[in-house]
Chains A and B, each alone.
Chain A
Amino acid sequence: MKDLESGETWQRLHPVTPLLRAVQLLYAFVIAAVVTSLGSRSTLIFVLAIMGLIAAWITLAYLRFRYRLSEESLIILHGVFIRKRRVIPRSRIQNVDLRAGVLQQIFGTTTARIETAGGQTTEAILHVVSRSEGARLRKELVALSRRAPPTAVGEAARVAAVSGPPFEPTETLAEASRQPQMVYRVTPLQLVIAGATSNRAGLLVGALLGGDFLFDFVPTDWLLRRVLPPELFDPETAMNGMLQIAQRDLQAFLLGLGMLVAFFGLAGWAISVLTSVVRYFDFSFTQSGGELKVSYGLLTRREKGFRRSRIQNVQIEESLLRRWLGFASLHSQTAGYGQMKADERMETLTPITRASELAPHLEAAFPGFRWEEVEWRPSHPRARRRLFVRRALVILVATLLLAPVSSWALLLLLAMVPAWFLAAAHYRHLGHARLGEYILVREGLWNRRTHIVPVRKIQALYFRQSPFQRRLDLGTLTLETAGNPIEWHAPRSIDLGTSYGVELMGELAAEVTETGLTF
């Protein structure tokens, strides 16, 4: 505890702080330039005066900002006119994130964000600290926040009760396990694969670009002029022309359309690959004792540390493409990060890895978790019927709508066959499993998500039945944990038999009660 003695003095932020914050002045300068080009000289003076004020403010703010780590808390003194003192107890700190943009990387500095569980926003931001200081803060605040003085046993128990389980003896004492262990480091090739197989970004970007630039983008214009007759570009006859060309030369029309789609699809794909590589560049996942650390990013370098006892649930994501290639990605949900975007709140434990190599990742997050011992229990067999009926109804409605137009629509009914196979395949991806103090649930055919939830992290349980499910005596069990973003589904097991599901819910609740107030 030597380094935490009161010997620790007040510290300032890194000296480049005013400089980096002054970059914001650039925006002001741009605005000033625009304004002066419009207005008179007095506006220029006015703008310059404001810029001077801002510069002074930034410098003052830097000079007045101090922080120090005490035995129990992080204390920050700040405020230019009104001095503010903020005390953040170590026991409440969930995460310390370091994030360095391009400029900060050049200066060798980083921004430390301190997250607590209760806060709606980031609790404290140390805008610019040196990289080593950031690492020290992370280490002190995350890894050592469990250092409760041994005298205050009651207090320690209370803190533990609120902040997490009593730490396993292997974690607290064995110095060897404190040594950072590299759990995983991504290779650039894997990142390319991750980008190429991610099924959200690429197509979306492609579609957006396609919609946006369809008729202004130079290559498309050029293409259109090659393929389509010139009268089509006359705006008045454009619509008629489209129809005419479609009737006269369907092949050319389709070729042009196909080329456009292919072009934007490929562009979207390339962007997806690029995003993945830039975002997760040099991703590494290390573990030291109970602390997990991930760091990644090419332009903005992020370094996030959190205690694994804070993990509320872990999500394994496998899109169809990734399943075929044998890859998976892994995210964890911690309770910090208040109202941020869902993307920010899910911590990536690995952007991509071989599905067969997930076990060490999971063990790092949940000590003693044996991935290979998981035995999946399928949902109730009647689920297959429900999954089929759902698809069949869509086909039926489509057929009925199209039948008056052309009797060929009846051929649509043939789609019932693949629908049945899809339903059967979908059913195979539903399921749940118990393993020690964990419950696992999974769902999703196109994008399979597997949630691993420690039972003691469960906050509430729901068993819901739609009218369809009720007819088949099925229901969906939802496990609510802290920090699940509202816009996403909480971990759930779809289509359990009603009596089984209700019983499972009761069992889980009893186990939750046994764990007491710790979560």
Chain B
Amino acid sequence: MNHLHPRITIAWRLVGVISALLLTVLTGALEARLLAPAGISLVLPGLITACVAAVGFVLALTWPSLRYRHWLWLVERDRVLIHKGVVWRSRSLIPRVRVQHVDTRTSPLQRWLGLSSLIIYTAGTRGADAEIPGLDSDQAESLREQLAHLEDLDEGP
């Protein structure tokens, strides 16, 4: 099975670091705002904020590589397979005869990294599990073309 493009971890780390930063600032501001007027010492809350920051940053930096290692996809002749999840594992299987249409999507961050997402729609999926997020843009395009044409499968009964 294929991994995503390794550069996707950069995007995940970036998003993780930014969220960690926001969370830290938020907890810090909340504590300062609520406790300082009441005259409570800020040492303990400061420690809590530091913990939040530490855990947040460590997770933001390490989790993406774990996630990357467990994110696998494969397009076979008749099916698309997606394996993902570090803690909650999920394997998705989409029979290609059920693919309704395929989109590629590129966010600004992805564009900067030269990546694209491939989104596969069926009549049933709720749009959650049929997305392959970090593909090389050219590869995503060619995959989209490939999935849109069923060739040998197209002439069903």
Contacts and interface: CB of A to CB of B under 8 A. Distances in A.
A267 interface: no
Interface string A441-471: 0000000000000000011111111110010
B97 A516 contact: yes
Contacts of B98: 458-460, 512, 519
A517 B95 contact: no
Nearest to B76: A509
B33 interface: no
A46 B124 CA distance: 51
A405 interface: no
Given A465-B89, A467-B88, A480-B122, A458 B95 contact: yes
B92 interface: yes
Nearest to A480: B124
B157 A462 contact: no
A464 B78 contact: no
B30 to A, nearest CB: 27
A462 B90 contact: yes
A418 B79 CA distance: 45
Contacts of B156: 161, 515-518
Contact of B93 (A335, A461, A517): A461
For chain B, which range describes its interface: under 10, 10 to 19, 20 to 34, or 35 or more residues?
Answer: 20 to 34
B78 A510 contact: yes
Interface string B14-47: 0000000000000000000000000000000000
A161 B156 CA distance: 8
Dominant secondary structure of chain A at its interface with chain B: mixed
Contacts of A518: 156-157
B124 A502 contact: no
For chain A, which range describes its interface: under 10, 10 to 19, 20 to 34, or 35 or more residues?
Answer: 35 or more
A513 B124 contact: no
A376 B90 CA distance: 25
A486 B125 CA distance: 10
Contact of B88 (A464, A481, A516, A517): A464
Nearest to A464: B90
A166 interface: yes
Contacts of A475: 89
B154 interface: yes
B126 A470 contact: no
B90 to A, nearest CB: 5
B93 A460 contact: yes
Interface of A: 117, 157, 161, 165-166, 335, 458-467, 470, 475, 480-484, 486, 490, 502, 505-506, 509-510, 512-513, 515-519
Give the top 5 A-B pairs by smallest Cβ distance, nearest first: A516-B156, A459-B124, A482-B123, A480-B124, A517-B156
6 contacts: A482-B124, A509-B78, A516-B97, A516-B155, A516-B156, A517-B154
